[in-house]
């Protein structure tokens, strides 16, 4: 009878497991379909986004072209009107010339009153081409829009990527059971239920599992609550290695430091203590805590499991890195440092300064933005080593060089002022990372060396005094406006000062322009143009 009951229970269990298998197959298929749909929808959304940007950019381009056409049409009408007025004035001049030379007194009297009644100035008011807008403002807006779009896209796409990554943490690991030794996964930055006194190094025993949650007894904290998917098994081998290198061997008098794997010690870093700091154990308490005397912080309190012993060889290793930094070196804060121990002040990751003083782990740096800035040696890096691949061009900038703002810089650190990406100026002064540039549009402009680039001879315009020039066809409106000049006008360069040029055109003497907006006309082209006119 008992055997029959057992057989019945086995059959029931088999049926239940087969149902579980069928449900699992359906769930797996559904999950796969969901992933495929997500891929398809992602492709569709990003394709639509690209199309939208292309559509809107085309609208902007068409609007610019339409405005250009309207301005040029207006200019053409004004030009025709001006030419017609000139023709009428020339006719009047001819009639006046005839009257002055005639001997026929009757003819003279008949035409004198009508011809002398007006000098022509009242009938023909002054005309000039004045377009309703400047397209340089559009260039600046587009550059700023590009920067904002890149920032927004990167932020939102990163959010999506992180969300996809988070999906993996929601899987329930079926192999964690009550009594298992576990720890928080290294990939978990902050547990859902927070750290409490627990760290990534902490190893505890599972006391209770209820759904997605579990309760763990850690040495540092009893009855700690966590999420199953954020935990991982600790094998006996792993735990043995951990205990071997952790708190067991540390005793009073040993030299220790905080383990590299500890992001923030339980009792915080305190004053002048970093991963590089080496101190002497002064006392060990029964609750797994210890007291350490560091050079910059006496009686520092920590946790045994967060510390590691330091041998003479160990201490030579990390300190040799720091010893590379010496007084006079150019340094900056490492990109990996989120917030320096002594805070940022006016300094940023881009700031480059000169080491003024080194005292133990502390150093004093003179940055262009802040003098006597205090930092930690281990948080700094030399610029020569870190930036040897990209600083060659910047370091070659010297007083007297022609420079412009790099195209990659959306907004300079000290703002644009009257300067644009097209502006070319002469370096007047260099002090550390800062420099003073005289631009035609903005004298004594302050900038950052790393945001500037040299303007080579191939980039500059080979125009000199006496050359025949005209405005480039690509220039819609010159910086100093057209005046009486057009794209067809040819003039002679009278003076050049930095980027400014003075040109004598037939219909506009002393016209002021920008070198980069002009092009030289060779003799053959000028002769052809002259003969055709």
Which residue among 104, 133, 162 closes a domain? 133
Gap between the Cα atoms of 345 and 48, Å rounded: 43
**Domain match, 264 and 364 both:** no
pLDDT tens, position by position, 73-101: 888 888 888 888 889 888 878 877 887 78
CA dihedral 145, 151, 155, 158 (to 10 degrees): 110
Domain end (from 116, 133, 150): 133
Band (pLDDT 50/70/90 cuts) for residue 238 is very low
Last residue of a domain, one of 413, 430, 454: 454
User: Does residue 463 lie in a domain region?
Assistant: no
Domain match, 399 and 351 both: no
Q: Which of 130-134, 319-323, 424-428 has the highest mean predicted lDDT (pLDDT)? A: 424-428
DSSP secondary structure string, 291-355?
EEEETTEEEEEEEGGGEEE--HHHHHHHHHHHTT--TT-EEEE-TT-SS-TT--TT--TT--EEE
> Over pLDDT 90: what percentage of the chain?
13
Give the orientation angle of helix 105-116 with respect to helix 2-101, to 10 degrees: 150
pLDDT, one tens digit per residue, over 501-517 is 899 999 999 999 888 78
4 domain residue, yes or no: no
Containing domain of residue 273, as a range?
Answer: 246-318
Please tell me whether residues 208 and 296 are part of one structural domain.
no
Residue 393 pLDDT greater than 50, yes or no: no
pLDDT band at 525 (very low <50, low <70, confident <90, very high): low
402 and 432 both lie in a single domain = yes
Work out how many domains the chain is built from and give that number.
Answer: 6
| Confidence band of 247 (pLDDT split at 50, 70, 90) | very low
In a domain, 160, yes or no: no
Alpha-carbon gap, residue 498 to 520, rounded angstroms: 17
Residues 108, 34: one domain?
A: yes
**Among candidates 390, 397, 357, which has minimal Cα distance to 374?**
357
Section 128-155 average pLDDT? 78
Q: How many CB atoms lie within 10 A of CB 458?
A: 6
Q: Assign residue 283 a region (left: φ > 0; alpha: ψ between -120 and 50; beta: otherwise).
A: beta
Measured CA to CA, the distance from residue 512 to residue 493 in angstroms comes to: 10
pLDDT of 280 strictly over 60: yes
Shared domain for 29 and 115, answered yes or no, is: yes
Same domain? For 365 and 409 the reply is no
Same-domain status, 29 and 106: yes
Q: Measure the CA–CA gap between 383 and 394, rounded to whole angstroms.
A: 12
Residue 357 lies in a domain: yes
CATH number at residue 421: 2.30.30
């Amino acid at each position: 009878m008992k055997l029959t009951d057992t057989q019945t229970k086995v059959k029931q269990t088999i049926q239940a497991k087969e149902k579980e298998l069928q449900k699992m197959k359906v769930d797996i298929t559904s999950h796969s379909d969901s992933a495929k749909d997500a891929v398809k929808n992602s492709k569709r959304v990003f394709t639509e986004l690209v199309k939208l940007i292309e559509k809107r950019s085309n609208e902007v381009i068409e609007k610019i072209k339409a405005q250009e056409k309207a301005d040029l049409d207006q200019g053409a009408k004004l030009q025709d009107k001006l030419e017609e007025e000139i023709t009428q004035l020339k006719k009047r001049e001819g009639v006046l010339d005839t009257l002055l030379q005639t001997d026929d007194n009757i003819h003279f009297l008949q035409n004198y009153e009508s011809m002398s009644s007006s000098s022509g100035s009242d009938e023909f008011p002054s005309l000039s081409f004045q377009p309703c807008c400047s397209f340089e403002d559009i260039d600046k807006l587009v550059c700023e829009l590009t920067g904002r779009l890149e920032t927004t896209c990167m932020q939102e796409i990163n959010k999506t990527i992180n969300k996809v990554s988070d999906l993996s943490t929601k899987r329930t690991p079926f192999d964690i059971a009550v009594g298992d030794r576990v720890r928080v996964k290294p990939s978990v930055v902050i547990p859902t239920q927070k750290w409490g006194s627990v760290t990534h190094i902490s190893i505890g025993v599972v006391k209770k599992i209820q759904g997605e949650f579990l309760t763990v007894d850690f040495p540092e904290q009893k009855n700690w609550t966590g999420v199953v998917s954020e935990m991982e098994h600790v094998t006996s081998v792993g735990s043995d290695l951990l205990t071997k290198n952790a708190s067991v061997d540390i005793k009073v008098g040993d030299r220790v430091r905080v383990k590299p794997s500890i992001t923030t010690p339980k009792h915080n870093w305190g004053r002048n203590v970093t991963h590089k700091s080496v101190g002497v154990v002064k006392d060990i308490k029964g609750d797994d805590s210890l007291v350490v005397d560091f050079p910059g912080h006496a009686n520092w309190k920590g946790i045994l499991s967060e510390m590691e012993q330091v041998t003479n060889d160990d201490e030579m290793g990390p300190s040799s890195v720091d010893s590379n930094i010496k007084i006079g070196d150019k340094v900056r804060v490492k990109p990996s440092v989120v917030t320096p121990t002594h805070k940022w002040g006016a300094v940023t990751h881009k700031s480059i300064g000169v080491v003024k003083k080194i005292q133990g782990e502390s150093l004093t740096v003179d940055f262009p933005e802040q003098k006597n800035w205090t930092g930690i040696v281990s948080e700094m890096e030399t610029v020569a080593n870190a930036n040897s691949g990209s600083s060659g061009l910047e370091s070659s900038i010297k007083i007297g060089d022609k420079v412009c703002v790099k195209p990659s810089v959306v907004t300079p650190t000290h703002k644009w002022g009257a300067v644009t990406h097209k502006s070319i100026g002469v370096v007047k002064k260099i002090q550390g990372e800062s420099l003073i540039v005289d631009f035609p549009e903005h004298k004594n402009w302050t900038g950052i060396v790393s945001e500037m680039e040299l303007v080579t001879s191939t980039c500059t315009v080979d125009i000199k005094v006496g050359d025949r020039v005209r405005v480039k066809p690509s220039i819609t409106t010159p910086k100093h406006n057209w005046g009486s000049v057009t794209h067809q006008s040819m003039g002679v360069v009278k003076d050049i000062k930095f980027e400014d040029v003075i040109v004598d055109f037939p219909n506009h003497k002393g016209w002021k322009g920008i070198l980069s907006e002009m092009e030289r006309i060779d003799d053959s082209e000028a002769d052809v143009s002259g003969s055709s006119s």
